Amino acid sequence: MSDAETNDLSSKYVLKTVGFDARFPNQNQTRNCFQNYTDYFKCVAAKGEDYAPCMQFKRAYHSLCPNEWIGKWDDQRESGTFPASLEP
């Protein structure tokens, strides 16, 4: 890959990760992942999908959670068997 191609790609994509959350100080981020997932859908239920602050939760769970978990939880939400309340 040439330098021009590398510069072009770096201008298209910005990689970010989730910042420190004092509620989850340990290395294991499983609960952080789940909490951000549920917080996103609670926020959307309360404020609607167009409410910009909800996107922080979505970015966080997409960064922290394995795709398989997200897919499983989405399926559970659709079938009504998700193990947590998503009411605001």
CA dihedral 21, 49, 61, 37 (to 10 degrees): 90
What per-residue confidence (pLDDT) applies to 9? 59
Residues 63, 32 contacting (CB under 8 angstroms):
no
Q: Which two tokens stand for residue 37?
A: 């997932």
pTM here is 0.77
- Whether residue 1 is predicted with pLDDT greater than 60 in this model: the reply is no
As assigned by CATH, the class of the 28-87 domain is mainly alpha
Domain residue ranges in the chain: 28-87
What per-residue confidence (pLDDT) applies to 4? 60
Sorted by sequence, the CB contacts under 8 Å of residue 42 that are 6+ apart come out as 86, 87, 88
pLDDT in tens, 49-81: 889 999 999 999 999 999 999 999 999 999 999
Residues 60, 37 contacting (CB under 8 angstroms):
no
